[in-house]
Homo-oligomer: A and B are copies of this chain.
Amino acid sequence: MLETMFSVEITVRDYECDQQGIVNNAVYLNYLQHARHEFGRSVGLDWLQLSEQGIDLVLSRAELDYLLPLRPGMRVRVTAEPVRKGKFRFYFEQEILVLPDEKPAVKALMTVACIVDGRPAAPPELDRWFGPPN
């Protein structure tokens, strides 16, 4: 991982917890998306703006390992590390780490597809996020 890995901090809210008293499994995807979008903002790229230019970045695969339950009031750090493999394969390696000791609650690999005119594409704008083709 880069030393400069992007992350956001989030405090678990009561309404995100379900009957078992822990954060519902779907909410983790909210957290992970929030970190990816904030990462985008931090480097000057915006999912919606790209979409309006005809460049659709869509989640094509999600893999999450749930390691620890999250409970109300916990504070977590959510990372978002962009990774490129070859020309067309874009990923975010992500973790949700419980603060202060940063034990991992979730490890995730999120695969993103870039679609232009209905087909996989690799427009140069993405180099700013994911680095050049490799």
Q: What is the copy number of this chain in the assembly?
A: 4
Interface size class of A (residues with CB under 8 A): 35 or more
| Majority-rule SS of A interface residues | mixed
A74: Cβ under 8 A from any B Cβ: no
Interface residues of A in 1-53 (CB under 8 A from B): 13-15, 17-21, 24-30, 33-34, 37, 41, 47-48, 51
Contact of A61 with B by CB under 8 A: yes
Q: Which residue of B has the minimal Cβ distance to A109?
A: B63
Among B14, B33, B37, B64, contact of A47 (Cβ-Cβ < 8 Å): B14
Determine if B26 and A18 form an interchain contact, defined as CB atoms under 8 angstroms apart.
Answer: no
**Within the complex, which residue of B29, B37, B64, B72 is in contact with A14, where a contact is CB–CB below 8 Å?**
B37
